[in-house]
Chains A and B, each alone.
Chain A
Amino acid sequence: MLVVIPAWNEEDALPGVLREIRAVCAAEPALSATDVVVVSDGSRDRTAEVARAQGVPVLDLPINLGVGGAMRAGFKYALRHRYDAVVQLDADGQHDPAAIPQLLAAAREHDADVVIGARFAGAGTYTARGPRRAAMRVLAGVLSRVTGTRLTDTTSGFKLAGPRAVPLFASEYPAEYLGDTVESLVIAARAGLVVAQVPVSMRERQGGRPSHSPVKAAVFLGRAVLALGIALSRPSNRTARARFHAAAEVKG
């Protein structure tokens, strides 16, 4: 399994996250064969050096592509190095690596290809308030219908992609706004993958606080609905599905 950490100017938080992952992997026998790769998304600080100093391989993108672009590079790396599964984990310390075994367990239990570590599903104290919460609810409602599973948190960046999802995401992982969360779920559902979610507790990020301004929430909702609408209106992605099945056959 491969843990992919998209990082953009995260030299402060990254070393702690890497240490935590190593500790978790050492403690869990199920995670003994887990590797980590950091995708430095056009960082202007020492993100890449900090990771290399800990012996972690770095995909150093020459320009900033956004989380979706960074993750597709990560998925390509995983595919070429024949990893079965990819865990996406943020570099800001918001996601607790100790929850990775829960994601794996959920994937096994539901035979799921994509497992979301959801923030509002009961565990932990992380909440979003006001209009932003309402916007997220709308998204969750629509995506629950698309994926055929009840989802409560569709914008989480803490996700597991299984053996069938890795080749798909290595070729189709949108770089647009919310493409790495909302649209990628639509792509997965359209390709016939099983999506599940598991509650995880989320920590406050170390720097910067999420905004609760109603204007920003409205903008967020507008862009999210637009992204979702475009994703859903795409002609049922036949090329993606064909490519995905071809890749699946090659893998055996």
Chain B
Amino acid sequence: MSGYLTALVVCAVTVGTIGYLLRSRRIREKYAAAWIALAVAVVAVGAVPSVLTWLARLLGVQTPVNLLFLVSGVVLLIVCVQFSVEISQLEEETRTLAEEIALLRLDVEDLRDRGVRPGGDADVRPPPPAPPA
């Protein structure tokens, strides 16, 4: 198997997997753009390796493959940082929800102790209409 074929197969699998995950909504749309861009780049470099050589010369990188490593490293770094940010946000959201649950649970216990039943047959009347100003 030639190296070219290997590269093409890897590209196809990568793009196919990302496409599948996006279509089955296992990756949310807000992350999709980055992954689509990555897939396009992989296809471009895989199909036309001379693109890499051209880019390397343009950017002053002597060995084209080093440009590939550099770019993939940077992409991974960005993705990791983005995940850290997202995880921090999720933790903050989880924390807020946990606090809210605890507060609501106490309210529910309070109401139950005062005889208000979840069925709604308690003495809860609508407030009287406001007097005209």
Chain A contact residues, CB within 8 Å of chain B: 39, 57-63, 65, 69, 72-73, 76-77, 80, 175
How far, in whole Å, are A205 and B95 apart by their CA atoms in the complex?
28
Q: Are A65 and B106 in contact (CB under 8 A)?
A: no
Q: Which of B95, B98, B103 has the most CB of A within 10 A?
A: B98
Q: Are A65 and B103 in contact (CB under 8 A)?
A: no
How far, in whole Å, are A80 and B103 apart by their CA atoms in the complex?
10
How far, in whole Å, are A65 and B93 apart by their CA atoms in the complex?
12
Q: Are A76 and B95 in contact (CB under 8 A)?
A: no
How far, in whole Å, are A65 and B99 apart by their CA atoms in the complex?
9
Contacts of B110 in A (CB 8 A): 57
How far, in whole Å, are A21 and B132 apart by their CA atoms in the complex?
48
How far, in whole Å, are A216 and B109 apart by their CA atoms in the complex?
42
Q: Lowest 9 CB-CB distances: which A-B pairs, in order?
A: A73-B99, A59-B102, A61-B102, A61-B98, A63-B98, A69-B95, A73-B102, A60-B102, A65-B95
- Our pick among A60, A72, A80, A175 for the contact of B105 (Cβ within 8 Å) is A60
Nearest CB of A to B43, in Å? 41
B63 in contact (CB, < 8 A): no
7 A-B residue pairs with Cβ-Cβ distance under 8 Å, sorted by A, are A57-B106, A59-B99, A59-B103, A60-B102, A69-B98, A73-B102, A77-B106
Chain B contact residues, CB within 8 Å of chain A: 94-95, 98-99, 101-103, 105-106, 109-110
CB-CB nearest in chain B for A72? B99
Q: Are B106 and A39 in contact (CB under 8 A)?
A: no
How far, in whole Å, are A57 and B99 apart by their CA atoms in the complex?
15
Contacts of B103 in A (CB 8 A): 59, 73, 76-77, 80
Nearest CB of A to B92, in Å? 8
Contacts of B105 in A (CB 8 A): 59-60
Contacts of A76 in B (CB 8 A): 99, 103
Nearest CB of A to B46, in Å? 42
Nearest CB of B to A82, in Å? 14
Nearest CB of A to B96, in Å? 9
Contacts of A39 in B (CB 8 A): 102
Contacts of B109 in A (CB 8 A): 57
Contacts of B106 in A (CB 8 A): 57-60, 77
Q: Are A63 and B99 in contact (CB under 8 A)?
A: no
How far, in whole Å, are A55 and B44 apart by their CA atoms in the complex?
69
CB-CB nearest in chain A for B97? A62
CB-CB nearest in chain A for B110? A57
Besides A69-B95, A72-B95, A77-B103, 7 other CB < 8 A contacts?
A59-B99, A61-B99, A62-B98, A63-B98, A73-B99, A73-B103, A175-B95
Q: Which of B94, B99, B101 has the most CB of A within 10 A?
A: B99
How far, in whole Å, are A80 and B99 apart by their CA atoms in the complex?
13
Contacts of A57 in B (CB 8 A): 106, 109-110
Contacts of A61 in B (CB 8 A): 98-99, 101-102
